[in-house]
Structure 1
Amino acid sequence: MTSHQIAFLLLDLALVLSGCALLGALATRMGQPAVMGEILGGILLGPTVLGPWSHTVVPDEIRPPLTGIGNVGVALFMFGLGLEFHRSALRGGGRRPAGIAIGSMLLPFVLGSLLGVVLVAMHYRHPPDPMGFVLFLGIAMSVTAFPVLSRILTDRQIAGTEVGMLAMAVAAVGDVLAWSGLAGVIALVGRSSGVPWLVALVVPFVFFLVRVVQPTLRRLLPAGSSTTTLAYLSGGALACGAVTELLGLHFIFGAFLFGLITPRIPATERLAEKVFGFSRLLLPTYFVVAGLQVNLGLTSSALGLLAVIVLVAVVGKVAGTYGAARMSKLSPGTSALLAVLMNTRGLTELIVLTTGLRLGLIDQELYSAMVVMALLTTAATGPLLTLCGRRLGASTPTTVTGTPRFDPVPAPQHAEEKGLHT
């Protein structure tokens, strides 16, 4: 890189980090997750607001290194999510979380896939892989953002209640289902590109991680957590991400898998928050680069597409979760709360959409509409929770069976008390 490019990169990084911190703080003060302000920061720097000046503020030659920095942040974030998954998936226990998770994803997946079929049939979209496009749209509609949900539950002091723990368990199981489905779509697209044998190597790679790497880590990791342990494990997560990227899957799967197989021993118990804290510094660049690709043309067709996408996403997720919760014999009030919580999207949705755009499964217009849908559904979660609480007589549920009991909500924790901000 030339001195001019280095200077622009540093200036843009300063703009991204400071601007996203400011917008994230404003979003938090408004009762929204910080990720809302950070994604909005990327949109404000994009062509929607700045038009052609967007390429002046963030030159084209600077965007690849910014993307690389953001990708490292996402890889570390997925590693931390894998570390956290084991404990989170156990919360709520039994078959109930799995059943509700499947129900909360099945209906939006079906509706999203049907929307994809309609778009292809109407020749509104001309995807290179129609089957991959249809399946991808179904998966994108069925996503729940586990980290954003965790942040909302923590801020509202619901995380320790039975409903909060059940919601975390359902979202955790749903995340694994979503990542598995996305991996299948990527494998399908890779097959059509003529590299099926590379994708097939993922199976022995996972076997190697479970049978060789995990026991080795259990023997070699020190008794206490340290910066050195964090460096070793972060390096392993990035290396696994590189392997899955070369095998035809996204790097997020390798990083997530490494987090899943990392032994739960004293040395790793408190590492997740450190990983999230470090990735938190890098993630804003990912949000901004994603936002730079959002171009909201105010045409009637674009607005119509956005309205249909929001309708399908909300109806599918809310109705699917509510129906599955009622079938699990939860009360109507608790089922409604779970339905509102599962409609939360954010970082997870953004990663899925960026992957689809990168693979050419969706174009910029559809990507832009889906990003706005993710913002709208996430922003609506807080107000809808408050509304549900008022309709049921208070604000925080403390039981998941029969009629929910509600207690007053204590003051929310400060953002610094929790490393999981997004």
Structure 2
Amino acid sequence: MTSHQNVELLLGLAVVVVLARLLGALARRLDQPPVIGEVLAGILMGPTLFHGAISDHLFPTDIRPFLSALATVGVAVFMFIVGLDLDSTLARGTGGFAVSVSLSSVLLPFGLGSALAFYLMGHHTTPDKTAFVLFCGIAMSITAFPVLARILTERGMHRTTLGTVALACASIDDVLAWTALAGVVAVTGAGGHDQWHILLLVPYALGMVFVLRPLLRRLIATRTSPRLTPTAFAFVVAGLLVSAGATEWMGLHFIFGAFLLGAVIPREHTTALRSDIHDHLGRLGGVLLLPVFFLVAGLKVDLSHLGTDGLGDLALILLVAIGGKFAGAFLAARAQGMPQRQSAALATLMNTRGLTELIVLSVGLSMGIIDQELYSLMVVMAVVTTAMAGPLLRWIMPRRLIEDEAARGAVSGPADGAAAAAALDEDEPDAVRPAS
């Protein structure tokens, strides 16, 4: 890098960090997740406004590869934290309730999204029609576990039965969605000259789960201090980068290697250790690396030439994404005996997509499965479905109802669907009414 490029990069990063922080704070003031403001910061600096004059001035073409490199690290760190936060025990307390709701809230939008893909093919180019159909189905099925968890925490719902069920459903959704995306990426990316690398994915995953995880468990058991030392933190960072690079080399996207390493870190007796890892990596990612990812993602969003056909496609995408996800979760919850109000709240929460959706869309764009125009429309869908969750949830579940349920001490999930309905149905009319 030249001295001039260094100056441009450093000043540009400063602008990204400050703007993301300001718009994130504004989003919070408007009762929205900060990710909404951070995503909008990236879009505002992209080609949508003033035909890219802002981005061309602040981020010349010659420094964008460096921004993309930082964004790659940021996404890898984020996916590692998602895997680290994954708690397989969440669904155990809900019996088959969370599993059935998750399957319904994934399969219905997946089917509708796949059907919509056949229509979208007429307006958008793709080199692989099968991958395009599957990818559209996956994009409609996403639920953002981190954003959902933050919404529940900020509204005091994380210790209620509804909050526990929502977290369990979202965690199962995450596993299903990432597994499906991994399959699509593996099939799509297996056509290169090194396609034999893909055969190593299964033994690699098995080794991580059945070899590395037990070794980590034994190593943690021998530690005298539960806290994270600088040396241990260095090995964690190196490990997530190596795992991410390994899956990228095998023909799978790097996000899966980072996610897998986070998921195999034992949860037993590691609360303080995982908290330290989360804090160290989360601060670096949240303040610098993820805002850079939002910028890079925003630079690829161009709505300046959105015409009638584009608006029609966007309306269909929103209808399928919102309707499919809501109907899938709502109908399954009602079939299990959950009251109407709580079923609607659960379905609303499952519609949050946030940063998780942006990562999925970035994978599809980078692999050429979707074109830039469709990518832009689906980014809008991700923003809309995330932004609507807070206001809808406040309307469906007023704070007084949340406080009443929390006061009943519903900390752990129900044993089954009937227990969930009983826990949620106490003194609660089976109807959805606007908050007073």
The residue that corresponds to 2:252 in the other structure is 249
Tell me the CA shift for residue 195 of structure 1. Answer: 4.8
- Aligned pairs for 1:118-197 within 5 A: 118-120=119-121, 123-193=122-192, 195-197=194-196
Tell me the CA shift for residue 58 of structure 1. Answer: 1.2
Question: Which one of 275, 282, 295 corresponds to residue 276 of structure 1?
Answer: 282
The residue that corresponds to 2:432 in the other structure is none
Alignment of 1:363 onto 2:363: no
The residue that corresponds to 2:388 in the other structure is 380
The residue that corresponds to 2:87 in the other structure is 86
Tell me the CA shift for residue 10 of structure 1. Answer: 0.2
Q: 1:405 to 1:18 in 2, by over 3 A?
A: farther
Q: Say whether the 8 Å CA contact 2:91–2:169 is kept in structure 1.
A: no
For structure 1, which segment, 398-407 or 74-83, has the greater mean C-alpha deviation from structure 2 after superposition?
398-407
CA deviations on 1:145-183 (whole Å, 9 max, x unpaired) are 100101111111111111001100100110010000000
Tell me the CA shift for residue 65 of structure 1. Answer: 1.1
Gap regions ≥5 residues in structure 2: 411-419, 429-436
Q: Specify the code of the residue in structure 1 equivalent to 2:9.
A: L
For structure 1, which segment, 187-196 or 274-283, has the greater mean C-alpha deviation from structure 2 after superposition?
187-196
Tell me the CA shift for residue 125 of structure 1. Answer: 2.4
Alignment of 1:328 onto 2:329: no
Q: 1:55 to 1:210 in 2, by over 3 A?
A: same
The residue that corresponds to 1:13 in the other structure is 13
Tell me the CA shift for residue 87 of structure 1. Answer: 5.8
Q: Say whether the 8 Å CA contact 1:394–1:406 is kept in structure 2.
A: no
Q: Say whether the 8 Å CA contact 2:156–2:402 is kept in structure 1.
A: no
Partner Cα distance (1:92, 1:73) in 2: 33
Q: 1:220 to 1:323 in 2, by over 3 A?
A: same
Alignment of 1:291 onto 2:291: no
Q: Specify the code of the residue in structure 2 equivalent to 1:298.
A: L
What secondary structure sits across from 1:210 in the alignment? helix
Partner Cα distance (2:144, 2:210) in 1: 30
Tell me the CA shift for residue 394 of structure 1. Answer: 3.8
Tell me the CA shift for residue 72 of structure 1. Answer: 1.1
CA deviations on 1:296-345 (whole Å, 9 max, x unpaired) are 12311111111111111011000011011112221211111100100111
TM-score when normalising by structure 2: 0.88
What secondary structure sits across from 2:234 in the alignment? helix
Tell me the CA shift for residue 215 of structure 1. Answer: 2.6
Partner Cα distance (2:95, 2:195) in 1: 37
The residue that corresponds to 1:225 in the other structure is 227
Partner Cα distance (2:374, 2:28) in 1: 28
Partner Cα distance (2:341, 2:216) in 1: 45
Partner Cα distance (1:252, 1:214) in 2: 19
What secondary structure sits across from 2:266 in the alignment? coil
Question: Which one of 385, 389, 401 corresponds to residue 421 of structure 2?
Answer: 401
TM-score when normalising by structure 1: 0.91
The residue that corresponds to 2:355 in the other structure is 347
What secondary structure sits across from 2:421 in the alignment? coil
Q: Say whether the 8 Å CA contact 2:90–2:164 is kept in structure 1.
A: no
What secondary structure sits across from 1:73 in the alignment? helix
Partner Cα distance (1:288, 1:226) in 2: 31
Q: Specify the code of the residue in structure 1 equivalent to 2:283.
A: G
Tell me the CA shift for residue 91 of structure 1. Answer: 6.6
Partner Cα distance (1:236, 1:82) in 2: 14
Identical positions, percent: 48
CA deviations on 1:99-137 (whole Å, 9 max, x unpaired) are 1111111110000000012223xx322310000000000
Tell me the CA shift for residue 61 of structure 1. Answer: 1.6
Partner Cα distance (2:277, 2:95) in 1: 25
Q: Specify the code of the residue in structure 2 equivalent to 1:39.
A: V
Tell me the CA shift for residue 258 of structure 1. Answer: 0.5
Tell me the CA shift for residue 356 of structure 1. Answer: 0.3
Q: 1:91 to 1:58 in 2, by over 3 A?
A: farther
Tell me the CA shift for residue 206 of structure 1. Answer: 1.0
Q: Say whether the 8 Å CA contact 1:88–1:172 is kept in structure 2.
A: no
Q: Say whether the 8 Å CA contact 1:386–1:395 is kept in structure 2.
A: no
CA deviations on 1:322-378 (whole Å, 9 max, x unpaired) are 011112221211111100100111010000000000000111110000000110111
Partner Cα distance (2:274, 2:94) in 1: 20
CA RMSD in angstroms, aligned pairs only: 2.0
Tell me the CA shift for residue 93 of structure 1. Answer: 3.4
Tell me the CA shift for residue 219 of structure 1. Answer: 3.1
Partner Cα distance (1:404, 1:70) in 2: 45
Tell me the CA shift for residue 231 of structure 1. Answer: 2.3
Q: Say whether the 8 Å CA contact 1:143–1:178 is kept in structure 2.
A: yes
Q: Say whether the 8 Å CA contact 2:228–2:273 is kept in structure 1.
A: no
Partner Cα distance (1:406, 1:198) in 2: 58
Q: Say whether the 8 Å CA contact 2:228–2:277 is kept in structure 1.
A: no
What secondary structure sits across from 1:270 in the alignment? helix
